[in-house]
Amino acid sequence: MDTFVENFHLKECVERMEYLPLGRTGLKVSKVSFGTGTFSQLYGNLDEAKALEAVKHAVQRGINYIDTAPYYGQGRSEEVLGRALRAIPRAAYYVATKVSRYEREYDGMFDYSAQKTRQSVERSLQLLGLDYLDVVQIHDVEFAPNLDIVLNETLPTLEALRAEGKLRFIGVSAYPLGVLREIITKAPGRFDTVLCYCRNTLFDDSLEEYIPFFREHKMGLICASGHGMGLLTNGGPQPWHPADRQLREVCAEAAAYCKREGVELGKLAMHHALQLPGPATFLAGMQTPELVQINLDAYFEGLSEKEADVLSYLKERVFPKVENKHWEGVELQQYRAAMKQAQLEPNI
């Protein structure tokens, strides 16, 4: 394994971890990977000491791909991750961040310009304490006024930064799968990785039909959030979650059943997500060593007989009740309505 470091890794864990090629990049990434969206106010208060411990716990046990973004805490996630990485050999991991999505307020949320893209990568390098980034992804391209600005400003800027040695590979992310197909088709060979989230879960299996397309374009496929951004956990989602009421209710019913049975829904969700062939890695947000271990156990140990029975029950009796398996367009409509309103209001 290319990222194995003697006297740092727990060799028996690394030997059990599966490492798959990330598209045409030449990188081999752990089947389970570490998301740091949880290192921000998006998922409640962060215990920074536990977060630092979680990163080290994960990498020592063979997780070698870590994902962050400026939007996660407006730099907080990158800053905390940077502190964690100081205690870890650079050869032991690959780190991916993003550009284009930034602030929580709508008027500063997105910026696909060349200038902002360059500034963002420079700031990410500084916060992370790194000389180069392994992957930089264009974050949530569906929010761009049109894809032309992404292809004419954001992407060429990342290509220039790659030529300068500040990043190695370029990726793209979005929630609507059709937008990902469109932009990859419009820029053949220019994207190395693609990140899809909440599209391979107990309530939404729509990623599966897109895998042949991603494979045809030799994309390194990162499958994120098998937990549905918290919907598929015993703790439930955050108040901001864009899912409709009915989907929330079905997931809450599943969580209540798991609690009665003494089982963690998040482990079942992770185990289910991991079964899909095609993705190079399955990315899960984690903020404590305990959560890291639950996800690693879902992969390394599988499910107990009781957990398997609970999962079967949920698949047969609960999740078929879902009426609308995604929230595509919901956040986009909110964003566009807010931006339109801001243009209508007079400056005071």
Active site residues: 72
CB 277 within 8 A of CB 234: no
Mention every residue, 6+ apart, whose C-beta is less than 8 A from residue 104: 74
Contact between residue 315 and residue 83 where contact means Cβ atoms under 8 Å apart: no
- Sort 232 into a burial class: Cβ within 10 Å, 0-12 / 13-18 / 19+: buried
The pair phi, psi for residue 110, each rounded to 5°, is: -125, 140
Q: Which helix (H) or strand (E) holds 306?
A: helix 305-313
Query: 3-class secondary structure for 178-226?
Result: HHHHHHHHHCCCCCCEEEEECCCCCCCCHHHHHHHHHHHCCCEEEEECC
The amino acid occupying position 222 is I
Yes or no: say if 265 and 258 are a contact pair by the CB < 8 Å rule.
Answer: yes
| The amino acid at 329 | G
CB 314 within 8 A of CB 202: yes
Q: How far apart are CA 95 and CA 65, in angstroms?
A: 6
Taking every pair of Cα atoms in the chain, the longest distance, rounded to a whole number of angstroms, is: 64
Asked if residues 200 and 229 have their Cβ atoms less than 8 Å apart, the reply is no
Tell how strand 32-35 and strand 65-67 pair up.
parallel
- Distance separating alpha carbons of residues 258 and 307, to the nearest angstrom: 9
